[in-house]
Amino acid sequence: MEKGCADQYPKVCQNLKNYDIFHKIMVLKIPIFDGFQNKKTIRTMKVTVVGAGAVGASCAEYIAIKDFTSEVVLLDIKEGYAEGKAMDLMQTASLNGFDTKITGTTNDYSKTAGSDIAVITSGIPRKPGMTREELIGINAGIVKTVAENLLKHSPNTIIIVVSNPMDTMTYLVHKATDLPKHRIIGMGGALDSARFKYRLAEALEAPISDIDGMVIGGHSDKGMVPLIAHATRNSIKVAEFLDEEKMDWVVQETKVGGATLTKLLGTSAWYAPGAAVSSLVQAIACDQKKMFPCSTYLEGEYGLQDICIGVPVILGKNGIEKVVEIELSDAEKAKLTESAQGVSNTNGLLEV
Ligand SMILES: NC(=O)c1ccc[n+]([C@@H]2O[C@H](COP(=O)([O-])OP(=O)(O)OC[C@H]3O[C@@H](n4cnc5c(N)ncnc54)[C@H](O)[C@@H]3O)[C@@H](O)[C@H]2O)c1
């Protein structure tokens, strides 16, 4: 049943409203007119996150802190692990001011029943020096079984795939289930774009809030296509401020963003991946119609067939509501085609 945000989450809406009013009076010093800007429609939401490891727990934490959904279930195969993470996170609720209920379960999918959105983060992460593609042998079996188990208990769920190699895992879920393509979403581009913006802000010596930019293509060191020619600082193309050498640096650092962190941390990163997933979940839960680059099954868009790869999509309550086809230069098209070839090669290793 659809309900207004203010009806369902009065505390959050009131806090947002109080902040907004305070900001208008104290900072902007303008008269108050609330208009309709805080009116969003959201549904009572149950979100399951499979894999209570680094990325899964971070994702659950950001979803809870943003406080837009009623329930998050963490599931892990490791005995007691998801229960422990859930309890630890719940003990932050009074400190961080959220009401989302987080529970954990050891591999009991009945506890995930009726999930509106399910996130798959289960599987192994890469170690320093490894590529994401090298994880396929172990992760394919895990992701396929997890997707099947989720759908037994939540036949209407929207699945967000995070486990790597993500584009191939998204394709695997597409081939292994009969879910319509708008309900299978691969998360990679939202993270890569956040890393792109981080590097752009660094190069421009500007605040990140000034920056906009997007990364499409495969979620791999070689396959990412940061759209540098489209990136802007406060609506002005970054090429106005950066020379070729600086722009090449931004592109290269973006593409190896995950590998850089894996080298520093000894395993793959979790804060930005968790935040990126939570943004996709929020866009769906709150029917925001926001545009993100996501891995989706293509049937001719961008000249690509029978592949899941990152392209701009609109996310709303139905999952992927539209694939957005933007005008690419010949060089960008060539990079996307090359990236798709790499993803197809990895898909060829699947046994489906
Ligand atoms: N798409 C992206 O942008 C992105 C970003 C970061 C990490 N990742 C990927 O996400 C995955 C998770 O990374 P992490 O750092 O959280 O790893 P992690 O090892 O910290 O957590 C993985 C968890 O999955 C659990 N698991 C394994 N098999 C399972 C099963 N069959 N059912 C339920 N749970 C199971 C493990 O017990 C573990 O707790 C990796 O494949 C990693 O490469 C993707």
Q: Look at residue 352 in the predicted model and tell me its pLDDT.
A: 65
The string of pLDDT tens digits covering residues 114-168 is 999 999 999 998 889 888 888 998 999 999 999 999 999 999 999 999 999 999 9
Q: Whose CA is nearest to atom 41 of ligand 1?
A: 163
Residue 253 has pLDDT above 50, yes or no: yes
CATH 3.90.110.10 region(s) of the chain?
A: 189-347
Separation of CA 270 and ligand 1 centre (Å): 10
CATH 3.40.50.720 region(s) of the chain?
A: 40-187
Q: Look at residue 6 in the predicted model and tell me its pLDDT.
A: 41
One-letter amino acid of 256: V
The string of pLDDT tens digits covering residues 35-87 is 333 333 445 899 999 999 999 999 999 999 999 999 999 999 999 999 999 99
Q: Look at residue 132 in the predicted model and tell me its pLDDT.
A: 86
Q: Which of 73, 132, 164 to mutate to test the pocket of ligand 1 (most atoms within 8 A of CB)?
A: 164
Separation of CA 266 and ligand 1 centre (Å): 15
Q: Residue 126 gets which letter from DSSP? A: P
Give the contacts of 270 (CB within 8 A, at least 6 positions apart).
54, 55, 57, 58
Q: Residue 106 gets which letter from DSSP? A: E
Report whether 127 contacts 86 (CB < 8 A): no
The string of pLDDT tens digits covering residues 26-35 is 333 333 333 3
Residue 222 has pLDDT above 70, yes or no: yes
Q: Look at residue 131 in the predicted model and tell me its pLDDT.
A: 85
- Report phi then psi at 270, rounded to 5: -135, -35
Least confident span in 128-132, 174-178, 265-269, 326-330: 128-132
Q: Look at residue 10 in the predicted model and tell me its pLDDT.
A: 45
Does 165 sit behind a cis peptide bond, omega within 30 degrees of 0 on the bond before it?
yes
* Owner of token pair 């292994």: 176
Q: Look at residue 181 in the predicted model and tell me its pLDDT.
A: 98
Distance CA 125, CA 259 (A): 11
Distance CA 170, CA 176 (A): 10
Q: Whose CA is nearest to atom 38 of ligand 1?
A: 53
Of ligand 1's listed atoms, the one at least distance from the Cα of 57 is 16
Q: Look at residue 38 in the predicted model and tell me its pLDDT.
A: 39
State mean pLDDT over 209-230: 97
Closest Cα partner for 246 from 231, 268, 265?
231
Separation of CA 230 and ligand 1 centre (Å): 32
Q: Residues of the chain with pLDDT > 90: what percent?
A: 83
This prediction has a pTM of 0.90
Q: Residues of the chain with pLDDT > 70: what percent?
A: 88
Residues with CB under 6 A from ligand 1: 50-56, 75-78, 81, 121-126, 135, 139, 142, 146, 162-164, 166, 187-188, 191, 219, 267-268, 270, 273
Phi-psi region of 234 (alpha: psi -120 to 50; beta: other; left: phi over 0): left
Q: Look at residue 248 in the predicted model and tell me its pLDDT.
A: 98
CATH of domain 189-347: 3.90.110.10
Domain range 40-187, CATH architecture: 3-Layer(aba) Sandwich (3.40)
Separation of CA 110 and ligand 1 centre (Å): 21
Q: Look at residue 203 in the predicted model and tell me its pLDDT.
A: 98
Q: Which of 48, 49, 75, 77 to mutate to test the pocket of ligand 1 (most atoms within 8 A of CB)?
A: 77
Q: Reduced to 3 states, what is the DSSP secondary structure of residue 35?
A: coil
Report whether 278 contacts 59 (CB < 8 A): yes
Separation of CA 164 and ligand 1 centre (Å): 8
* Number of Cβ atoms within 10 Å of the Cβ of 10: 11
Strands (E), the chain: 2-4, 41-43, 46-50, 71-76, 101-106, 117-120, 158-161, 184-186, 211-212, 215-217, 224-226, 232-233, 236-237, 290-299, 305-316, 319-323
Closest Cα partner for 73 from 64, 12, 8?
64
